[in-house]
Each structure stands twice: as C-alpha cells, then as structure tokens.
C-alpha cells in the first residue's frame, strides 16, 4: 500500500462499529466483564501488552485504532499515545534510564525537552550532556560506560540542523544505548525512523497528524526490543490520550498524506522567494538546494513539511518584528502543522550550551499552511516592505 492508501485505510474497522466508516468516539472509564473469568483474562491480556478493554486508562478502541495505524505508517512495532507531544518526548526517556545513568541530547532539541533534562532528569540523578547536532559518528567520543540513551531531533524544529541519524545510531548501539528521535518535522511519511537505526520515534501529533490546530497529543512508536520499557513507563505514569482527541487525530490522519505535499511545496516556494531578498543571510530549509543540511536531507528524507527558519542579516530586531507584525495571513503563535500559516521570532543563541550559534542577525520561523502560495508570497513581500521601512 502507498502512503495515501495507508493513511486512508489503516486503523479502520467498520465491521466492529455498525459499519461506521470512522471509528466513533468510544468513551469509557469502567468497562464491565461478563464474569470473573473474563475479568481475569482481560487483566492477563493487559499484562501481555494486548490492547484490551480492561479499564479506560489503558485505552478504548478510539485510542487503540489510532495507535495501530500510526505504528504501521511510521514502520514500527507498536505505538503509545500521550496527552501532549511534550509528554511523548519526556516520559519515555524515564523508561530507559535510572539514577547514575548518562544521556546525550542534541543541542538543537525542542526547548521544553531540554528543560526536562536539566531539571527532572537531574533531580533523578541522571546526567545530561548536550552535543553538537552535526556531530555524526563523532558521538562515539562522548559515549561513556553509563550512557543509556541518545536523544535526537532532526532537523531541529527551530534551527533546522539535519542529523546523521544512521551514524549516530550505529555509535549508540555499539555502546548499548537506546536511540530516540523527535520525528515531528519528518512526519511518519517523510522520515522512516526504523530504517535509519532509531529505536523510539516521537511525533507531536498536535502538528500534522491532527492537522487542524485543535488538539494537543503525542505518539511514540518503537521497535519490538524497545517496547517493554515504553509500555511499562507509559502505564506507570498513567499516560493516556482522550477518546475525543483520538477521534480528531484519526480524522486528521485520513487527509495527512494529501495535505503534506502542499505544505512541502508551499514551504519550498516561500523559502526560495525569501532566499532571494537582499536582507536575508540564510534560509534554514533542509529541502532547499544549497541550504544547510540539504545533502543529508536528500539522502535520508522522502519529503519536507512546511516549517523552516530565516536568518536575516544583522539589523535591529525591531525591523524583523515589523516584518512579522505586517503579515496578514501568517498568525503569530506557538505550534505548527495546522492548516494555517504562522511566523514567530526566535533567538537561537540563548538556547545553546554545546555549540555556538554563528549568525548575528535576527531570526524568524515560518510555517507554510494550506493557503494559496501566491497569496502567501504576496503577504511575505508586504512584510519585507514593512521591514525595510523600519531599518
């Protein structure tokens, strides 16, 4: 099956739901058993990791069918859903480490994931070393006897460094460490984590899977070997995803393979247009020929989403702010992956500890939505006019 067919069909079982094409919202906390034997059997199924209906916390069909679809589309063994993308980044780490362990985390990691490492992991006696996202096979030099986990995010969702995941995974596995990837930018369609050595792959489903900016949710898909650690920690920390949210995420999934090419095409067209403006230092879009990370992107990715960064030549940040304020079609807001375009300022230098941010000019991040590309370019052109007036 091709991706468009998978996203349309997987995780649907109309025969179980009176023929309904989409699995209805299945809300439940208590789920009754007919007799004690069934009760005991359901508990055994739960312990064996089978998606049963023993208690709503471990999921109902609304959640299980979405997990089933996402695991297969991303190419892993099984999937667990979480109440946010951030929970999907942080809680699974706890399934693989204990006090006295060491983890390696990319310096380009999503800010709140970084904070979790420096606060919660540190409190538990787990040491974090942040590493250069472009380190590749050189990560071997940072592995210690107690390094249990290497956390990657490729490309970084603010600074867009593409990581050499196969090289990092080979070095991590040689030292017995688990490799986690925040694969939100790559999406389950455009980067296939398990073909590149990843053990545990995260999606902030909030972004392209939900696709409509109305649900917060995360998913974690992993290999068979990594499953016991993930399953246990998810249960122990009481992680789940609400049936109504699962319904909306499943609805988003059905159109994802058709939406993504538009985000990809529009993002690239915008990036090309922005790169031609004289005030622009560099456009951080891995799919843009000549941009940083383009060769690795070409080697490992099957496509690109609509998110990219822009570094302006040195100028007062208020000129960058004037550009963003003048945009009418790009909202100023956190998150991305919805149908709408966004633009936000960012300051990368203040987020680094292992590497230096080499650019001096102000930066902004763009999400290309589903609007017509000509309208987006015309709006961006208006932003550049406003920026020039503020110089």
Ligand X SMILES: Cc1ncc(COP(=O)(O)O)c(C=O)c1O
Of 80, 184, 234, 266, the residue at the interface with ligand X (CB under 6 A) is 184
Which residue number, 204 or 329, has a Cβ lying nearer to ligand X? 204
- CA–CA separation, 365 vs 275, rounded Å? 13
Indicate whether 226 belongs to the interface with ligand X (CB under 6 A). no
Distance from first CA to last CA of the chain, Å, rounded? 53
Specify the residue for token string 């999934």.
Answer: 253
> For ligand X, which is the closer residue by CB, 84 or 355?
84
Phi, psi dihedral angles at 238 (to 5 degrees)? 65, 35
Residue 335 binds ligand X (CB under 6 A): yes
Give 225's DSSP letter. T
Q: What is the DSSP string of 103-114?
A: EEEETTS-HHHH
CB of 174 to ligand X, least distance (A): 27
Q: Which of 26, 54, 96, 110 binds ligand X (CB under 6 A)?
A: 110
* Selection from 104, 43, 77 nearest residue 229 by Cα: 77
Q: Radius of gyration over alpha carbons of the chain, in Å?
A: 22
Q: Tell which positions 147-166 bind ligand X, by CB under 6 A.
A: 157
Q: Does 216 bind ligand X (CB under 6 A)?
A: yes
What Å distances lie between residue 230 and 100, 205, 238, CA to CA? 20, 18, 12
Cβ at position 110, least distance to ligand X in Å: 4
Instruction: Work out how close the CB of 112 gets to ligand X at its nearest, in angstroms, rounded to a whole number.
Output: 7
| Partner residues linked to 153 by β-bridges | 182
To ligand X, the closest distance from the beta carbon of 331 in angstroms equals 14
Query: 171 vs 180, which CB is nearer to ligand X?
Result: 180
CA atoms within 13 A on the CB side of 223: 15
Our finding on whether 10 is near ligand X (CB under 6 A) is no
Residue 51's closest CA among 202, 227, 198?
A: 227
Report the residue number, 115 or 318, with the smaller CB distance to ligand X.
115
Based on the shown chain and the rule CB under 6 A, indicate whether residue 187 belongs to the binding site for ligand X.
Answer: no
Least distance in angstroms from the C-beta of 233 to ligand X: 17
Regarding 188 and contact with ligand X (CB under 6 A), the answer is no
In angstroms, the Cα distances linking 17 to 22, 23, 24, 62, 252 are 9, 7, 7, 11, 20
Q: How far is the CB of 253 from ligand X (least distance, A)?
A: 15
# binding residues, ligand X (CB under 6 A): 13
Q: Is 330 exposed, middle or buried (0-12, 13-18, 19+ CB in 10 A)?
A: buried
3-state secondary structure at position 148: strand
Q: Which residue is nearest to ligand X (CB)?
A: 85
Residue from 206, 266, 341, 355 binding ligand X (CB under 6 A): 206
* Ranges within 290-329 binding ligand X (CB under 6 A): none
In the complex with ligand X, the residue whose CB is nearer, 259 or 365, is 365
Question: For the chain, how many helices (H) and strands (E)?
Answer: 13, 11
Residues 70-109 touching ligand X, rule: CB under 6 A, are: 84-86, 89
Q: Note whether 182 and 165 are within 8 A (CB).
A: no
The answer to the question of residue 241 lying near ligand X (CB under 6 A) is: no
State which residue, 256 or 319, has the beta carbon closest to ligand X: 256
Site residues for ligand X per CB under 6 A? 84-86, 89, 110, 157, 182, 184, 204, 206, 216, 218, 335
């Amino acid at each position: 099956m091709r991706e468009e067919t998978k996203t349309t069909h997987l995780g649907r079982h109309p025969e179980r739901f009176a023929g309904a094409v989409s699995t209805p919202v299945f809300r439940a906390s208590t789920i009754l058993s007919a007799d004690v034997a069934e009760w005991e059997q359901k508990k055994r199924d739960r312990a064996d990791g089978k998606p049963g209906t023993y208690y709503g916390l471990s999921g109902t069909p609304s959640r299980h069918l979405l997990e089933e679809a996402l695991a297969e589309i991303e190419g892993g063994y099984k999937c667990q859903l979480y109440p946010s993308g951030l929970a999907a980044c942080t809680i699974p780490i706890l399934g693989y480490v204990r006090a006295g362990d060491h983890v390696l985390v990319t310096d380009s990691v999503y800010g709140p994931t970084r904070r979790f490492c420096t606060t919660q992991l540190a409190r538990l006696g787990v040491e974090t070393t942040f590493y250069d996202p472009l380190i590749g096979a050189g990560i071997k030099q940072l592995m210690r006897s107690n390094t249990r986990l290497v956390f990657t995010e490729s490309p970084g969702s603010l600074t867009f460094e593409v990581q050499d995941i196969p090289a990092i995974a080979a070095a991590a596995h040689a030292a017995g460490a688990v490799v986690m990837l925040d694969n939100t930018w790559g999406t389950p369609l455009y980067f296939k984590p398990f073909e590149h050595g990843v053990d545990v792959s995260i999606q902030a489903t909030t972004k392209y899977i939900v696709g409509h900016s109305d649900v917060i949710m995360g998913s974690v898909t992993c290999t068979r070997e990594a499953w016991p650690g993930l399953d246990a920690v998810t249960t122990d920390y009481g992680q789940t995803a609400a049936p109504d949210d699962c319904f909306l995420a499943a609805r988003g999934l059905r159109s994802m393979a058709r939406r993504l090419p538009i985000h990809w095409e529009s993002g690239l067209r915008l990036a090309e247009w922005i790169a031609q403006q004289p005030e622009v230092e560099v456009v951080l879009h891995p799919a843009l020929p000549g941009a940083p990370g383009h060769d690795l992107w070409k080697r490992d990715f099957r496509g690109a989403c609509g998110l990219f960064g822009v570094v302006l030549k040195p100028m007062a940040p208020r000129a960058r702010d004037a550009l963003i304020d003048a945009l009418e079609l790009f909202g100023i807001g956190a998150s991305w992956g919805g149908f709408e375009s966004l633009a936000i300022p960012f300051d990368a230098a203040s987020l680094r500890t292992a590497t230096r941010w080499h650019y001096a000019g102000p930066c902004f991040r763009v999400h290309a939505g589903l609007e017509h590309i000509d309208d987006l370019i015309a709006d961006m052109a208006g932003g550049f006019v406003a920026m020039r007036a503020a110089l």
